[in-house]
Structure 1
Amino acid sequence: MKFNLFKSKALPLLKEENIKWVEDPISIDQAIDLVGHMLVKTGYVEKEYVASMHERNRELSVYIGNSLAIPHGTNEGKVHIKQSGISVALLRHGLEWGGEKAFVIIGIAGKNEEHMSILANLSTIFGDMDNVDALLKMNDIKAIHKFITTGEHS
């Protein structure tokens, strides 16, 4: 299975520096802060967007199944998005999220309607538990980046 998360965008949606393995147990709020602050640090969003991500999760859980949670901001928070991008936290111990266990946390900032394209591409990966299992066995950030952005893995 191959796909292209970048589509025809000139700027990449996922930078290698926005992928982190988390070795210690963390809370939901810490997970949202982690992926949110990666988006801030790499210039995708303003810091106010992170608060919007927390608000969104309080309104409706952002855990979507297959070990995946996708924190993203509220509609009001979209004014704080500079450009579309994602960040990824992989949790060694997982995290109890809405009665399920999340191992992959992907922060999403989608400008205009680009969030729908991002979600469609992510559903291609995470709709198949074999892909999730393969991803969670990877330790190399470059391999993780390649897998998430192209669907290719060894």
Structure 2
Amino acid sequence: MELANILDENIIFPKADYTNKAEVLQELSELLEKESYVSDASEFLEAVYEREKEGVTGIGNLLAIPHGKSESVQKPGVAIITLNNKVDWESLDDSGAQIVFLIAVGTENSKNHLKLLSQIARKLGNDDINTALLSAQKKEEIIKILTS
């Protein structure tokens, strides 16, 4: 599974105004449900919070990659949000988060889950990409940044 093949502008939200992690995760989970990636946003969100208990999903440099494996996932997806202001988020460098990639995979898709995590982390290891994502105004710009 390649990141470029599953990016969907319907689940990308640039320049959002949320004040905390819970609001961000709730919004992205509902967006995944609205677009039929998950059948039950609450069930999926519960899986995300279970994963959050295992360790931080903030990888540093204002980036977070929360993820959940749930039977409610109908098809794998990555919901993306960029925030106008950073929110508190447990991270490796205590910087919080301003770019969040919420990965949804079914319980049987462990390899896909790890492959997506790896692809996203590799892309986001580039400061120029992160800067471009933060300044992107449109969904199409975010997709272009992540696929070029």
**1:18 aligns with one of 11, 20, 23:** 11
Cross-structure match for 1:124:
122
Deviation at 1:89, TM superposition (A): 0.8
Sequence identity percentage: 28
Say whether residues 1:27 and 2:20 are aligned partners.
yes
**One-letter amino acid of the structure 2 residue matched with residue 49 of structure 1:** F
Unaligned runs of 5+ in 2: none
Out of 74, 78, 91, the position equivalent to 2:83 is: 91
**Cα distance change of structure 1 residues 23 and 123 upon mapping to structure 2, 3 Å threshold:** closer
Task: Report the alpha carbon displacement of residue 22 of structure 1 after superposing the two structures with TM.
Answer: 4.3
Compute the TM-score of the two structures, normalised by the length of structure 1: 0.81
Q: Please point out which of 32, 37, 51 is paired with 1:39.
A: 32
**In 2, Cα distance between the equivalents of 1:58 and 1:128?**
27
Q: Does the 8 Å CA contact 1:34/1:89 hold for their aligned counterparts?
A: no
Q: Find out whether 1:50 has 2:48 as its counterpart.
A: no
Alpha-carbon separation, structure 2, partners of 1:24 and 1:123? 24
Write the letter of the residue equivalent to 2:34.
K
Q: Which deviates more from structure 2 when the two are superposed, residues 49-58 or residues 80-89?
A: 49-58
- Range with greater deviation from structure 2 (54-63 or 130-139): 54-63
Unaligned runs of 5+ in 1: 7-11
Q: How many corresponding residue pairs?
A: 139
Task: State the distance in 2 between where 1:96 and 1:67 align.
Answer: 10
Indicate the RMSD between aligned Cα atoms, in angstroms.
1.7
Deviation of 1:109 (Å):
1.1
Residue type of the alignment partner of 1:115: H
TM-score relative to the length of structure 2: 0.84
**SS of residue matched to 1:97:** coil
